A and B are shown apart, each in its own frame.
Chain A
Amino acid sequence: MSEAFPGPVTGHVPVLRLGEVLLVTLQGDLHDSTAHQLQEDLAETIARSGATGVVIDISGVEIVDSFLGRVLAEIAAQSSLLAARTVVVGMRPAVAITLVELGLTLPGLRTALSTEVAMELLTRPTPSSRSAGTRQESP
């Protein structure tokens, strides 16, 4: 009766490469140390591969607390120092509602509703003159 919940995820989260973009899919309940490991793995993989984008799919994540929120923000910041842009994809509505109430709005984090949109954002040339970013779309 209690088997419906996925077990805790420990160890390494696989990082896939699609051209210039690294794709990471988070699932279930992430162990703190696994999140830290992912942060390190991503920095190394970006530096080694020269990837220019990172997509993190969190559609399978049931909660984001301040710890995981901070890890996501740090991944985005460190990727940016390594010349890669990060997009977090598929946040569940309940997670977004909870994060705002928690007080964690993660302003530095770029998001997209689907992986397709994220890939499109990342393969488009960098918006260099305008810093307003991804929501800006002139007709």
Chain B
Amino acid sequence: MDTAAGVEARLPIRSDMDLVWVRQHVRQAAAQLGFGLVDQTKLVTAASELARNTLVYGGGGTMETQHLVSGGVRGLRLTFSDEGPGIADLEQALSDGYTSGDGLGMGLGGARRLVHEFAIESSPGAGTIVRVTSWTGRPPGPREES
């Protein structure tokens, strides 16, 4: 029963090389927890989008991975933190096609659609924390989000 071994970690996001390690870690963790191929692919893609945001807009930061269990369902939570300039208008930042300059734009809104749960905390000058969670089966309990 040591399925969680190696799942939990904290990885730096300081260069585009780190994006590769983030993707590989999330892929391995998701595979280990029993996510199917499509769900693994969605999670790794979401992680790649969010890690790139952390790097490009947040000026670098970290990703933490956490193994969750709820109602017999296993989950993987990814937390991206940076101490960058923060986001003034979250609503706008989550809308599709929004970009603050680099032409990446798909990031937040796209990543949100690829995971079961999505939460973001940010304010100008206070950095940004994005927390996403996906479950190996149906998400336990009523789904948050409108």
> Is B48 a contact partner of A102 (Cβ separation < 8 A)?
no
| CB of A71 to closest CB in B, whole Å | 11
> Is B109 a contact partner of A103 (Cβ separation < 8 A)?
yes
> Is B38 a contact partner of A94 (Cβ separation < 8 A)?
yes
Chain A residues within 8 Å of B40, by CB: 94
Whether a CB of chain A sits under 8 angstroms from the CB of B123 is: no
* A92 nearest CB neighbor, chain B only: B41
Whether a CB of chain B sits under 8 angstroms from the CB of A33 is: yes
> Is A31 a contact partner of B16 (Cβ separation < 8 A)?
yes
Chain A residues within 8 Å of B45, by CB: 63-65, 98, 102
Chain A residues within 8 Å of B111, by CB: 102
Whether a CB of chain A sits under 8 angstroms from the CB of B19 is: yes
Number of residue pairs spanning A and B whose beta carbons lie under 8 angstroms apart: 76
Whether a CB of chain A sits under 8 angstroms from the CB of B63 is: no
Q: B23-31, B69-77, B82-90, B128-136: which one contacts chain A?
A: B23-31
Cα separation A98 to B114 with both chains bound (whole Å) = 7
For window 98-121 of chain B, which residues contact chain A by CB distance below 8 Å?
103-107, 109-111, 113-114
Cα separation A92 to B52 with both chains bound (whole Å) = 23
> Is B106 a contact partner of A29 (Cβ separation < 8 A)?
no
Whether a CB of chain B sits under 8 angstroms from the CB of A12 is: no
* B103 nearest CB neighbor, chain A only: A70
Contact of A63 among B16, B48, B113 (CB under 8 A): B48
Whether a CB of chain A sits under 8 angstroms from the CB of B20 is: yes
Cα separation A8 to B48 with both chains bound (whole Å) = 14
| CB of B91 to closest CB in A, whole Å | 17
Chain A residues within 8 Å of B48, by CB: 63, 65, 67
| CB of A38 to closest CB in B, whole Å | 14
> Is A66 a contact partner of B107 (Cβ separation < 8 A)?
yes
> Is B52 a contact partner of A67 (Cβ separation < 8 A)?
yes
Cα separation A62 to B42 with both chains bound (whole Å) = 10
Q: Chain A, 66-88, contact with B by CB distance < 8 Å: what is the 0/1 string? A: 11001000000000000000000
A-B contacts, 14 of them at CB < 8 A, read A2-B6, A2-B28, A5-B27, A8-B20, A32-B16, A63-B45, A63-B48, A64-B45, A65-B45, A67-B104, A97-B38, A101-B42, A102-B113, A103-B113
Residues of A within 8 A of B (CB): 2, 5, 8, 29, 31-33, 62-67, 70, 92-95, 97-98, 101-104
Residues of B within 8 A of A (CB): 6, 16-17, 19-21, 23-24, 27-28, 37-38, 40-42, 44-45, 48-49, 52, 96, 103-107, 109-111, 113-114
Q: List the 3 shortest-distance A-B pairs measured between CB atoms, nearest first.
A: A66-B106, A94-B41, A32-B16
Q: Given contacts A32-B16, A66-B104, A92-B41, list 14 more A-B pairs with CB under 8 A.
A: A5-B24, A8-B20, A31-B20, A64-B45, A65-B45, A65-B49, A67-B104, A97-B38, A97-B41, A98-B45, A101-B42, A101-B114, A102-B114, A103-B106
